Structure 1
Amino acid sequence: MKYAKNILETIGNTPLVKINKITKEIDALVLAKVETFNPGNSVKDRMAVKMIEDAEADGRLKPGGTIIEGTSGNTGMGLALGAIIKGYKLICVITDKQSKEKMDILRAVGAKVIVCPTDVEPTDPRSYYSVSKRLSEEVPNAWYVNQYDNPSNALAHYEQTGPEIWEQTEGKVTHFVVGVGTGGTISGVAKYLKEQNPNVKIWGVDTYGSVFKKYHETGIFDENEIYSYITEGIGEDILPKNVDFSLIDGFTKVTDKDAAVFTRKLALEEGIFVGNSAGAAIKGVLQLKEHFKPEDVVVVLFHDSGSRYVGKIFNDDWMRERGFLEEEITKAEDLIKDHIDKPLVTVKTEELVSHAIERMKKYKISQIPVVDSKGFVGSVDEADLFRSYVEDKDIADKPIKEVMGKPFPVVKASVPVEEISKLITKENQAVLVDLGESKFHIITKHDIISAIK
């Protein structure tokens, strides 16, 4: 009978899948190494188990010990599988930018999850690097994995992923393209492939806010390049020892928006439901197309599963909030369609200023139309109210009609966005949209800015 003795024996031998529609502009054959077929649904299963086994072999990890690691989620999953089968405890330190799905999955497989802020320096005691190191010193019988500098990370891909790609392409692979985070995948695969054929080109996919591309090209670690970004699993604000820049031929950077949009394209156009870094990787391939010839075989690695991004990349509201959703916004009704079901907040002429302030706080809004029995007769804006309060501390107890400004302009739902933009000025902060049947909605400067792609 053929069966695996435990789940760890199912790691590896993931398929190569041809990309057809997205890469139709590329003459070369583009093949994806789809790592979601691993039991933990990511490429990180390979190096997680390798790091555990090497630590067991040299005594760093002792029976009944606690494994501690800073992770974006996928390495944690691989470590969890190893910990379950081999009888260890696991503490995963994760940043707050990672998806809720990743955190929930880690807890589901028995890991204790500690969440740290993203927007701090690596040396900050609150960073997930620092917290991981501190816990490894405080927790008895603990082993700190440190995937960034642990040589077993790259070695796993030298021993497994690289040989699989070489065998699956029958040695015809000419280019390998992959997102770079800890550096283990790109460096391990690159070392193996270049040993087989020194002419194989290795391309790393980086993200804006990360230091890899500039450092590779100039040797300068530019702290000005470091800023917060959304794409998960690739890019760094440090230089991990596992990134062997001498093996990498070049980097291309992909925006957060492109990474998200192309992650969705892979699902919709290729039927490949993979994660955020896969979208960045395939967009990176498209950006590199002038480097490929018709006879080339380009292998791009997709790190993990789309199931970890259901609440983010595959959520329309999340995408829309960040301006990532490919929607054409041309009319007034397009600007308000996401919140058209919310009632228009108004204030009456005889109500007190304090009532308007309370409504602004409750609904987190900055402008309110003023109405009386005849309809819209004025408006109040938080900036105007603030100025009035500075001049008169008793303003809160006065009626709105004493402080209100001119009423907001009213437009039809079909009015072009360009016309609305002209109506919003320093003196006029909003426009009302007439939806018919005595129903109105409000468009603010924030709505216009949110619509800019």
Structure 2
Amino acid sequence: MMPNNDIFGLAAETPLILIKQMARHIRPKVMAKLEYMNPACSHYYRVASAIVSDAEKRDLIHPGMTLVDWTYGNSGIALAMAGVSRGYKLLLAAPDKISREKRDMLKAIGAELVITPSDALPGAPRSCKNVAESLVNNMSNAFFAGMYENPVSLKVHFEATGSEIFRQTDGRVTHVFVPMISGAMVFGLGRYLKAKNPAIKVIGVEPQGSIYAALFRNGNPGAPQFSELEEIGSQHPSAYWDPTVIDDVIQVSDYAAFNCGRELLRMEAVFAGGASGAVMSAALQSGAGYTESDCVVVMMNDFGGYYLSKMYRDEWMRKRGFYRKQKSALDQITAEDILQLKARRDLIFAYPENTLAEVFEMMKQNDVSQLPIVSYNAPIGSISENKILSILIENDEAMNSKVVGFMEQPFPVCPPDAAISELSEKLQQSASGVLISLSDGRLQLLTKSDLIDALTHK
């Protein structure tokens, strides 16, 4: 086989990776499809190359012409990379909310950028799309690429993206969450997957203020509102709109999207953007109702490196009210997580009126070395094998005495959402166990060995 040396001719699959830490609370397998891992750092990589190739085959363009389009940044970068490498000039219109990194990248490629106001409504003369169309109409030797509504986009996602997901999951995919922008990706891959297995659920994701959720539910587009998110959402309906292909549309707040995106980097080493954070946030929330046999694929369409001045910058996040202190991956493990790894059984405990002999027999019968002492469902003390042994060495007749006279300090009590670092700190303070107070009023005991098991659990 001849080697393929064309940067835009690569047929390599984008990675599909297992999400471990962030999905530990839910039962289904969650897989992230890293569509940004290619030369153009977005899912527009294949689309841009296909559109340029298609236009050349139909003699609509030739090197030396100017390719014109409107963009949220990523589609423009992909089009510019596909175009300049084949001898085309690039003129792009983009809203003023796109990140500095995208602007710098487009400038570095050699594209000319016209910035438009983000608050311009669809159809307004200053809207991004209208500016791009006006530019191409007033230029000679120019071609409007129209990446967001070019039918080639739909074909690429049907033939390449959809088939790749099915192949990489061995056909086991049950749910796929997709960012909704122009609709090409969600409807393209959705049609392929539904043709393979009509039971596969295709869920579109958009920011609050986008128009698709209302369009899906009642047939009328929602009122467009501003969102800080890029590469997701739309202010006007897609040319590909087909409600029979999708099963739901979920809206995600900017706050949830950005913070989920930041957590992806900290917990999973997935360096994605806010759009990807929105889709993962929706998938994790919805996944709480799925089963162990479900396989959820989440489309990661934007690269985190384009947002270092925005969502990955604490000052920017604070200024807009999005900042949330990030926990380390270790702190994300909670008492509830550790309890889920244990074989659940009712807590063995003693009452103050039990004798030492009764308490010792309980320990032997249940193969435990310590017991909490509980009165009216509240822990008031504890007793251990070592303590009973030291008591008997001093007074061998004490076995018939009530345990209340010999009990030690009670085990500390923590809520189910207590982080493993807090539990460890409690256990280091000479406590041999930590009681977890469940929502139904019951108590469960965690020991150092339970924490070790959780940290080494695969």
Instruction: Tell me if both proteins adopt one fold, taking TM over 0.5 as the criterion.
Output: yes
Match of 1:68 in 2: 68
Q: How does 1:46-85 map to 2 (within 5 A)?
A: 46-85=46-85
1:172 deviation in Å?
0.8
Which has more radius of gyration?
A: 2
> Is 1:310–2:308 an aligned residue pair?
yes
Q: Please give the per-residue CA displacement for 1:190-214, whole angstroms capped at 9, x wherever unaligned.
A: 0111111111110001111111001
Distance 1:108 1:167, change over 3 A: same
Match of 2:112 in 1: 112
Which amino acid letter does the alignment assign opposite residue 311 of structure 2? I
Distance 1:142 1:78, change over 3 A: same
Q: Which one of 229, 249, 252 corresponds to residue 251 of structure 1?
A: 249
Work out whether residues 8 and 46 of structure 2, in 8 Å CA contact, stay in contact via their aligned partners in 1.
no
Match of 1:40 in 2: 40
**Within 2, Cα distance between the matches of 1:185 and 1:12?**
18
> Is 1:237–2:222 an aligned residue pair?
no
3-state SS of paired residue (1:30): strand
> Is 1:94–2:94 an aligned residue pair?
yes
1:271 deviation in Å?
0.6
Runs of 5+ consecutive residues of structure 2 not aligned to the other structure? 327-458
Q: How does 1:341-360 map to 2 (within 5 A)?
A: none
Match of 2:285 in 1: 287
1:7 deviation in Å?
1.1
**Within 1, Cα distance between the matches of 2:312 and 2:155?**
33
**Within 2, Cα distance between the matches of 1:51 and 1:287?**
36
Match of 2:124 in 1: 124
Match of 2:426 in 1: none
1:11 deviation in Å?
5.6
Which amino acid letter does the alignment assign opposite residue 74 of structure 1? N
Work out whether residues 106 and 113 of structure 2, in 8 Å CA contact, stay in contact via their aligned partners in 1.
yes
Work out whether residues 148 and 242 of structure 1, in 8 Å CA contact, stay in contact via their aligned partners in 2.
no
Which amino acid letter does the alignment assign opposite residue 176 of structure 1? V
Which amino acid letter does the alignment assign opposite residue 213 of structure 2? K
1:290 deviation in Å?
4.3
Work out whether residues 35 and 43 of structure 1, in 8 Å CA contact, stay in contact via their aligned partners in 2.
yes
1:2 deviation in Å?
7.5
**Within 2, Cα distance between the matches of 1:180 and 1:205?**
6
Distance 1:56 1:137, change over 3 A: same
Which amino acid letter does the alignment assign opposite residue 318 of structure 2? R
**Within 2, Cα distance between the matches of 1:299 and 1:316?**
29
Work out whether residues 150 and 242 of structure 1, in 8 Å CA contact, stay in contact via their aligned partners in 2.
no
**Within 2, Cα distance between the matches of 1:98 and 1:92?**
13
3-state SS of paired residue (1:178): strand
Which amino acid letter does the alignment assign opposite residue 295 of structure 1? S
Work out whether residues 12 and 46 of structure 1, in 8 Å CA contact, stay in contact via their aligned partners in 2.
no
TM-score by length of 2: 0.69
1:289 deviation in Å?
1.9
Work out whether residues 275 and 308 of structure 1, in 8 Å CA contact, stay in contact via their aligned partners in 2.
yes
Number of residue equivalences: 326
Work out whether residues 27 and 288 of structure 2, in 8 Å CA contact, stay in contact via their aligned partners in 1.
no
**Within 2, Cα distance between the matches of 1:239 and 1:216?**
11
Work out whether residues 28 and 294 of structure 1, in 8 Å CA contact, stay in contact via their aligned partners in 2.
yes
Which amino acid letter does the alignment assign opposite residue 28 of structure 1? P
**Within 1, Cα distance between the matches of 2:308 and 2:12?**
25
3-state SS of paired residue (1:75): helix
Match of 1:168 in 2: 168
**Within 1, Cα distance between the matches of 2:206 and 2:316?**
23
3-state SS of paired residue (2:225): coil
Match of 1:227 in 2: 225
Which amino acid letter does the alignment assign opposite residue 197 of structure 1? N
Match of 1:197 in 2: 197
Please identify runs of 4+ aligned residues in structure 1 that moved more than 4 A: none
Distance 1:321 1:109, change over 3 A: same
**Within 2, Cα distance between the matches of 1:12 and 1:227?**
38
Which amino acid letter does the alignment assign opposite residue 308 of structure 1? Y
Which amino acid letter does the alignment assign opposite residue 68 of structure 1? V
Q: Which moved more, 1:7-16 or 1:73-82?
A: 7-16
> Is 1:324–2:318 an aligned residue pair?
no
Work out whether residues 65 and 143 of structure 1, in 8 Å CA contact, stay in contact via their aligned partners in 2.
yes
TM-score by length of 1: 0.70
Match of 2:179 in 1: 179
Q: Percent identity?
A: 35
Which amino acid letter does the alignment assign opposite residue 7 of structure 1? I
Match of 1:438 in 2: none
**Within 2, Cα distance between the matches of 1:62 and 1:170?**
41
Match of 2:29 in 1: 29
1:142 deviation in Å?
1.1
Match of 2:298 in 1: 300
Which amino acid letter does the alignment assign opposite residue 143 of structure 1? F
1:25 deviation in Å?
1.6
1:63 deviation in Å?
3.5
Distance 1:242 1:48, change over 3 A: farther
Distance 1:12 1:91, change over 3 A: farther
**Within 1, Cα distance between the matches of 2:186 and 2:3?**
31
**Within 1, Cα distance between the matches of 2:23 and 2:232?**
22
Distance 1:317 1:254, change over 3 A: same
3-state SS of paired residue (1:31): strand
**Within 2, Cα distance between the matches of 1:242 and 1:136?**
23
1:77 deviation in Å?
1.2
> Is 1:218–2:218 an aligned residue pair?
yes
Work out whether residues 186 and 243 of structure 1, in 8 Å CA contact, stay in contact via their aligned partners in 2.
no
Compute the RMSD of aligned alpha carbons: 1.6
**Within 2, Cα distance between the matches of 1:235 and 1:62?**
33
1:17 deviation in Å?
0.5
1:82 deviation in Å?
1.1
